[in-house]
Amino acid sequence: MEYILGNENDLLPPHQAEIGRDVVSFAAGLRSAVRRNPEIIGVGEIRDNETADAAVQAGNTGHYCLSTMHTKSPGETLARLLGLFPPVIRDSMAWAVLSLLQFILVQVLVRTNDGGRKAVREYIVINDELRDNLSGMPHAEWGHHIDAIIRQEKRRIRDQILEMYIRNEVDRREAILFIPPGELRS
């Protein structure tokens, strides 16, 4: 199939596959997507070993793969991802994941006092320096190390929401969903 595009910035529409209709699982969808050789592969959620393995394989073949996991911090995301792999291959998969990861971002939507919602994010960029630091420790410690960096830099979601609370952008009821009540100033 050929497309004639109007100008150089035109993009082709994404190819979307639905579980149950087009593919039997996220992993099967990932394997199918790799065969189409896209620049970017989006996975709705990685929640099992088969999907995690397929995402790593997509990355190993040079595909940029984006996905979601329901976690509360970047460190928890990495720990949960590695925990999806059976213990017998976890070490090798941890190194594969570390070599492929570029960033981990966690986001929540917070109700603001003006009636809206605001996205609050914490993230870690997996650069060469961090890769080197992590490679010098057991992979079971990687998540704690990442969360410690974010905590030290005061970039956690709870740190940002505390600042929003102090600026009266969110009320106490919303803030205590993310911050222990004892840490809030009245």
**What is the chain's pLDDT, residue by residue, as a tens digit (186 residues)?**
344 455 555 555 666 777 778 777 767 777 777 777 777 888 778 999 988 998 898 899 888 888 999 999 999 999 999 999 999 999 999 999 999 999 999 999 999 999 999 999 999 999 999 999 999 999 999 999 999 999 999 999 999 999 999 999 999 999 999 999 888 875
Neighbouring CB atoms inside 10 A of 60's CB total: 13
Q: Is 175 helix (H, G, I), strand (E, B) or coil?
A: helix
* pLDDT at res. 134: 98
Question: Can you give the pLDDT at residue 78?
Answer: 97
pLDDT the model gives residue 13: 61
What is d(CA 110, CA 153) in angstroms, rounded to the nearest whole number? Answer: 21
Long-range contacts of 147-155 (CB under 8 A, 24+ apart): 147/73, 147/74, 147/75, 147/76, 148/75, 149/124, 150/73, 150/74, 150/75, 150/122, 150/124, 155/122, 155/123
Tokens of 6: 């109007």
Cβ atoms of residues 48 and 80 within 8 Å: no
End-to-end, the C-alpha distance of the chain in Å comes to 63
pLDDT of amino acid 28? 75
pLDDT for 127 equals: 97
